Protein backbone atom coordinates (compact mmCIF):
# COMPACT_ATOMS: atom_id res chain seq x y z
CA UNK A 1 0.00 0.00 0.00
CA UNK A 2 1.29 3.47 -0.92
CA UNK A 3 0.95 6.54 1.29
CA UNK A 4 2.09 10.09 0.60
CA UNK A 5 2.51 12.74 3.29
CA UNK A 6 2.46 16.46 2.46
CA UNK A 7 3.52 19.08 5.01
CA UNK A 8 5.57 22.26 4.66
CA UNK A 9 7.07 21.81 8.15
CA UNK A 10 10.05 19.54 7.54
CA UNK A 11 10.32 18.13 11.06
CA UNK A 12 6.62 17.33 11.23
CA UNK A 13 6.81 15.75 7.77
CA UNK A 14 9.71 13.51 8.79
CA UNK A 15 7.88 12.44 11.96
CA UNK A 16 4.69 11.61 10.05
CA UNK A 17 6.56 9.60 7.42
CA UNK A 18 8.45 7.74 10.14
CA UNK A 19 5.25 6.87 12.04
CA UNK A 20 3.58 5.57 8.89
CA UNK A 21 6.55 3.39 8.02
CA UNK A 22 6.61 1.95 11.53
CA UNK A 23 2.94 0.95 11.32
CA UNK A 24 3.57 -1.78 8.74
CA UNK A 25 6.35 -3.13 6.57
CA UNK A 26 3.82 -3.27 3.73
CA UNK A 27 3.43 0.53 3.68
CA UNK A 28 5.39 2.39 1.01
CA UNK A 29 5.59 5.96 2.31
CA UNK A 30 6.88 9.15 0.66
CA UNK A 31 6.99 12.67 2.05
CA UNK A 32 6.71 15.97 0.19
CA UNK A 33 6.98 19.57 1.35
CA UNK A 34 5.43 20.99 -1.83
CA UNK A 35 2.10 20.13 -3.39
CA UNK A 36 3.41 20.13 -6.97
CA UNK A 37 5.99 17.46 -6.13
CA UNK A 38 3.29 15.30 -4.56
CA UNK A 39 1.06 15.68 -7.64
CA UNK A 40 3.95 14.64 -9.90
CA UNK A 41 4.57 11.52 -7.81
CA UNK A 42 0.88 10.59 -7.83
CA UNK A 43 0.76 10.89 -11.60
CA UNK A 44 3.61 8.38 -11.85
CA UNK A 45 2.22 5.82 -9.43
CA UNK A 46 -1.18 5.21 -7.85
CA UNK A 47 -1.59 6.29 -4.23
CA UNK A 48 -3.90 4.67 -1.70
CA UNK A 49 -3.84 7.34 1.03
CA UNK A 50 -2.78 11.00 1.11
CA UNK A 51 -1.99 12.57 4.49
CA UNK A 52 -2.26 16.33 4.02
CA UNK A 53 -1.48 19.34 6.15
CA UNK A 54 -4.11 22.04 5.59
CA UNK A 55 -2.36 25.35 6.28
CA UNK A 56 0.41 25.35 3.66
CA UNK A 57 1.87 28.36 1.79
CA UNK A 58 1.90 27.10 -1.80
CA UNK A 59 -1.52 25.42 -1.77
CA UNK A 60 -4.22 25.03 0.86
CA UNK A 61 -4.65 21.37 1.84
CA UNK A 62 -8.41 21.49 1.14
CA UNK A 63 -7.73 22.70 -2.41
CA UNK A 64 -5.10 20.04 -2.86
CA UNK A 65 -7.51 17.35 -1.68
CA UNK A 66 -10.16 18.45 -4.17
CA UNK A 67 -7.64 18.28 -7.02
CA UNK A 68 -6.51 14.85 -5.90
CA UNK A 69 -10.12 13.64 -5.88
CA UNK A 70 -10.63 14.95 -9.41
CA UNK A 71 -7.61 13.09 -10.84
CA UNK A 72 -7.34 10.17 -8.42
CA UNK A 73 -10.83 9.59 -6.97
CA UNK A 74 -9.91 6.34 -5.22
CA UNK A 75 -7.25 8.00 -3.07
CA UNK A 76 -8.38 8.38 0.56
CA UNK A 77 -7.66 11.76 2.20
CA UNK A 78 -6.64 12.19 5.83
CA UNK A 79 -5.98 15.71 7.09
CA UNK A 80 -3.34 16.43 9.72
CA UNK A 81 -3.54 19.98 11.05
CA UNK A 82 -2.97 22.14 14.07
CA UNK A 83 -6.21 24.05 13.55
CA UNK A 84 -9.63 22.67 14.44
CA UNK A 85 -11.51 25.39 12.51
CA UNK A 86 -10.87 23.59 9.23
CA UNK A 87 -12.92 20.54 10.24
CA UNK A 88 -16.17 21.73 8.62
CA UNK A 89 -14.48 22.33 5.25
CA UNK A 90 -12.63 19.03 5.50
CA UNK A 91 -15.69 16.94 6.11
CA UNK A 92 -17.70 18.90 3.55
CA UNK A 93 -15.52 17.22 0.92
CA UNK A 94 -15.86 13.90 2.77
CA UNK A 95 -12.33 13.34 3.95
CA UNK A 96 -11.66 9.90 5.37
CA UNK A 97 -10.05 11.35 8.49
CA UNK A 98 -9.14 14.55 10.35
CA UNK A 99 -6.41 14.55 13.01
CA UNK A 100 -5.19 17.44 15.13
CA UNK A 101 -1.46 17.80 15.66
CA UNK A 102 0.46 16.52 17.51
CA UNK A 103 -0.72 13.21 16.08
CA UNK A 104 -0.33 10.05 18.14
CA UNK A 105 0.70 6.76 16.59
CA UNK A 106 -2.51 5.13 17.82
CA UNK A 107 -4.82 7.74 16.27
CA UNK A 108 -2.90 7.71 13.00
CA UNK A 109 -3.06 3.92 12.82
CA UNK A 110 -6.81 3.94 13.50
CA UNK A 111 -7.50 6.52 10.75
CA UNK A 112 -5.43 4.63 8.18
CA UNK A 113 -7.16 1.36 9.04
CA UNK A 114 -10.57 3.03 8.70
CA UNK A 115 -9.63 4.49 5.30
CA UNK A 116 -8.44 1.10 4.06
CA UNK A 117 -11.56 -0.66 5.34
CA UNK A 118 -13.73 1.85 3.52
CA UNK A 119 -11.85 1.21 0.26
CA UNK A 120 -12.15 -2.56 0.67
CA UNK A 121 -15.88 -2.38 1.35
CA UNK A 122 -16.40 -0.22 -1.73
CA UNK A 123 -14.44 -2.72 -3.81
CA UNK A 124 -16.43 -5.64 -2.40
CA UNK A 125 -19.45 -4.73 -4.52
CA UNK A 126 -17.47 -4.31 -7.71
CA UNK A 127 -19.65 -5.68 -10.48
CA UNK A 128 -18.86 -7.94 -13.41
CA UNK A 129 -21.57 -6.06 -15.29
CA UNK A 130 -20.65 -4.33 -18.53
CA UNK A 131 -21.52 -0.90 -17.09
CA UNK A 132 -21.05 -0.31 -13.37
CA UNK A 133 -21.65 3.01 -11.63
CA UNK A 134 -20.02 3.57 -8.25
CA UNK A 135 -21.54 6.22 -5.97
CA UNK A 136 -20.37 5.13 -2.51
CA UNK A 137 -17.31 7.20 -1.71
CA UNK A 138 -16.51 8.95 -4.99
CA UNK A 139 -18.53 8.85 -8.19
CA UNK A 140 -17.09 6.83 -11.05
CA UNK A 141 -18.31 4.91 -14.07
CA UNK A 142 -16.71 1.65 -15.19
CA UNK A 143 -17.00 -0.15 -18.51
CA UNK A 144 -15.77 -3.75 -18.33
CA UNK A 145 -13.69 -2.73 -15.32
CA UNK A 146 -12.12 0.30 -17.04
CA UNK A 147 -12.68 3.72 -15.46
CA UNK A 148 -14.47 6.17 -17.75
CA UNK A 149 -12.42 9.36 -18.08
CA UNK A 150 -14.32 12.61 -18.62
CA UNK A 151 -12.64 15.52 -20.40
CA UNK A 152 -14.74 18.04 -18.44
CA UNK A 153 -15.41 17.79 -14.71
CA UNK A 154 -18.84 19.43 -15.09
CA UNK A 155 -19.83 16.77 -17.62
CA UNK A 156 -18.99 14.10 -15.06
CA UNK A 157 -20.89 16.01 -12.36
CA UNK A 158 -23.95 16.29 -14.58
CA UNK A 159 -23.97 12.55 -15.18
CA UNK A 160 -23.55 12.00 -11.42
CA UNK A 161 -26.63 14.15 -10.80
CA UNK A 162 -28.65 12.18 -13.35
CA UNK A 163 -27.64 8.98 -11.57
CA UNK A 164 -28.65 10.57 -8.25
CA UNK A 165 -32.09 11.33 -9.73
CA UNK A 166 -32.54 7.57 -10.34
CA UNK A 167 -34.12 7.88 -13.75
CA UNK A 168 -36.11 11.02 -13.09
CA UNK A 169 -35.98 13.67 -15.80
CA UNK A 170 -33.81 16.75 -15.31
CA UNK A 171 -34.57 19.93 -17.23
CA UNK A 172 -31.85 22.06 -18.78
CA UNK A 173 -32.54 24.86 -16.30
CA UNK A 174 -32.21 22.42 -13.38
CA UNK A 175 -28.93 21.14 -14.80
CA UNK A 176 -27.65 24.70 -15.14
CA UNK A 177 -28.61 25.61 -11.57
CA UNK A 178 -26.76 22.55 -10.32
CA UNK A 179 -23.55 23.23 -12.23
CA UNK A 180 -23.36 27.01 -11.85
CA UNK A 181 -25.49 27.62 -8.73
CA UNK A 182 -25.98 31.40 -8.62
CA UNK A 183 -25.17 31.91 -12.31
CA UNK A 184 -27.49 33.76 -14.66
CA UNK A 185 -29.15 31.42 -17.17
CA UNK A 186 -28.76 33.78 -20.12
CA UNK A 187 -28.02 33.01 -23.76
CA UNK A 188 -24.27 32.85 -23.20
CA UNK A 189 -24.57 30.37 -20.33
CA UNK A 190 -27.09 28.28 -22.25
CA UNK A 191 -24.32 27.78 -24.81
CA UNK A 192 -21.95 26.81 -22.01
CA UNK A 193 -24.46 24.20 -20.87
CA UNK A 194 -24.68 22.91 -24.43
CA UNK A 195 -20.91 22.40 -24.38
CA UNK A 196 -21.15 20.37 -21.15
CA UNK A 197 -24.01 18.20 -22.42
CA UNK A 198 -22.18 17.55 -25.71
CA UNK A 199 -19.04 16.64 -23.78
CA UNK A 200 -20.97 14.21 -21.58
CA UNK A 201 -22.57 12.56 -24.61
CA UNK A 202 -19.24 12.40 -26.45
CA UNK A 203 -17.60 10.62 -23.52
CA UNK A 204 -20.38 8.05 -23.34
CA UNK A 205 -20.15 7.51 -27.10
CA UNK A 206 -16.37 7.11 -26.82
CA UNK A 207 -16.89 4.19 -24.43
CA UNK A 208 -19.86 2.85 -26.45
CA UNK A 209 -22.34 3.30 -23.61
CA UNK A 210 -24.49 6.12 -24.96
CA UNK A 211 -27.56 3.96 -24.37
CA UNK A 212 -27.50 4.75 -20.65
CA UNK A 213 -28.51 8.36 -21.38
CA UNK A 214 -31.84 9.54 -22.73
CA UNK A 215 -32.15 13.12 -23.96
CA UNK A 216 -35.39 14.63 -25.16
CA UNK A 217 -36.37 18.18 -25.95
CA UNK A 218 -35.45 20.23 -22.89
CA UNK A 219 -34.75 17.31 -20.52
CA UNK A 220 -32.45 14.36 -19.88
CA UNK A 221 -32.36 11.25 -17.71
CA UNK A 222 -30.26 8.20 -16.88
CA UNK A 223 -31.72 4.81 -17.76
CA UNK A 224 -31.43 2.81 -14.50
CA UNK A 225 -32.38 -0.45 -16.16
CA UNK A 226 -29.27 -0.26 -18.38
CA UNK A 227 -26.66 0.10 -15.64
CA UNK A 228 -25.50 -1.65 -12.49
CA UNK A 229 -25.15 0.84 -9.62
CA UNK A 230 -24.31 0.44 -5.95
CA UNK A 231 -26.93 3.03 -4.92
CA UNK A 232 -29.65 1.26 -6.86
CA UNK A 233 -28.59 -2.06 -5.37
CA UNK A 234 -28.71 -0.51 -1.89
CA UNK A 235 -32.20 0.86 -2.42
CA UNK A 236 -33.31 -2.59 -3.59
CA UNK A 237 -32.01 -4.15 -0.38
CA UNK A 238 -28.92 -5.86 -1.81
CA UNK A 239 -26.95 -7.12 1.22
CA UNK A 240 -23.48 -6.51 -0.25
CA UNK A 241 -24.36 -2.94 -1.19
CA UNK A 242 -25.81 -2.27 2.27
CA UNK A 243 -22.66 -3.62 3.94
CA UNK A 244 -20.44 -1.62 1.61
CA UNK A 245 -21.96 1.75 2.54
CA UNK A 246 -19.81 3.60 5.08
CA UNK A 247 -21.48 7.00 5.23
CA UNK A 248 -19.89 8.46 2.09
CA UNK A 249 -21.89 9.06 -1.07
CA UNK A 250 -20.59 10.92 -4.13
CA UNK A 251 -18.04 12.59 -1.85
CA UNK A 252 -16.90 15.23 -4.34
CA UNK A 253 -20.31 16.88 -4.70
CA UNK A 254 -21.93 18.94 -1.94
CA UNK A 255 -25.41 18.56 -3.44
CA UNK A 256 -25.20 14.80 -2.85
CA UNK A 257 -25.53 15.34 0.92
CA UNK A 258 -29.32 15.04 0.76
CA UNK A 259 -29.20 11.54 -0.71
CA UNK A 260 -26.35 10.67 1.63
CA UNK A 261 -28.49 11.67 4.62
CA UNK A 262 -31.41 9.61 3.31
CA UNK A 263 -29.25 6.52 2.77
CA UNK A 264 -27.66 6.91 6.20
CA UNK A 265 -31.04 7.31 7.93
CA UNK A 266 -32.36 4.21 6.20
CA UNK A 267 -29.66 2.18 7.93
CA UNK A 268 -30.72 3.55 11.31
CA UNK A 269 -34.43 2.81 10.86
DSSP string, 193-204: HHHHHHHHHHHH
pLDDT at 126 over 60: no
pTM of the model: 0.58
Determine the Cα–Cα distance for residues 17 and 63; give it in Å rounded to an integer: 22
Q: Say yes or no: 195 and 135 in one domain.
A: yes
CATH number at 254 reads 1.10.10.10
Strands of the chain, DSSP E = 2-6, 28-32, 49-52, 76-81, 97-100, 131-134, 140-143, 146-147, 170-171, 213-216, 219-222, 228-229
Determine the Cα–Cα distance for residues 148 and 145; give it in Å rounded to an integer: 9
Q: Say yes or no: 56 and 154 in one domain.
A: no
Mean pLDDT, to the nearest integer, of 86-100? 59
| Per-residue confidence (pLDDT) for residue 86, from 0 to 100 | 52
Judge whether 125 and 244 are in contact, CB under 8 Å: yes
For the segment 134-181, what is each residue's pLDDT rounded down to a tens digit?
999 889 999 998 889 999 999 999 999 999 999 999 999 999 999 998
Query: Domain containing 157: what range?
Result: 131-268
Q: Say yes or no: 40 and 148 in one domain.
A: no
| Per-residue confidence (pLDDT) for residue 93, from 0 to 100 | 47
pLDDT at 234 over 50: yes
Q: Say yes or no: 74 and 182 in one domain.
A: no
Q: Say yes or no: 35 and 139 in one domain.
A: no
Mean pLDDT, to the nearest integer, of 70-99? 69
Q: Cβ atoms within 10 A of the Cβ of 152, count?
A: 15
**Domains in the chain, number:** 2
Q: Say yes or no: 105 and 200 in one domain.
A: no
For the segment 176-226, what is each residue's pLDDT rounded down to a tens digit?
999 998 788 888 899 999 999 999 999 999 999 999 999 988 899 999 999
Last residue of a domain, one of 85, 105, 123: 123
Q: Say yes or no: 84 and 170 in one domain.
A: no
Q: Say yes or no: 60 and 171 in one domain.
A: no
Q: Say yes or no: 152 and 79 in one domain.
A: no
Higher per-residue confidence, 259 vs 80: 259
Q: Say yes or no: 172 and 251 in one domain.
A: yes
Cα 38 versus chain centre, distance: 18
How many DSSP H helices and E strands does the chain contain? 11, 12
Q: Say yes or no: 170 and 236 in one domain.
A: yes
Q: Say yes or no: 138 and 256 in one domain.
A: yes
Last residue of a domain, one of 95, 123, 151: 123
Band (269; pLDDT cuts 50, 70, 90): low
Amino acid sequence: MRIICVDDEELVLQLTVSMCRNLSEDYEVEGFSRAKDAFAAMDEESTDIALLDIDMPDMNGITMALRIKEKHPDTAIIFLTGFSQYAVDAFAMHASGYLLKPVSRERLSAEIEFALLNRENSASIASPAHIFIKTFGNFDVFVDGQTVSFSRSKAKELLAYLVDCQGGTVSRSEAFALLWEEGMYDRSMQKQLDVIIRSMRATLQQYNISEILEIQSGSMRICPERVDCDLYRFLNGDAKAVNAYRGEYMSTYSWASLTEAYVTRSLED
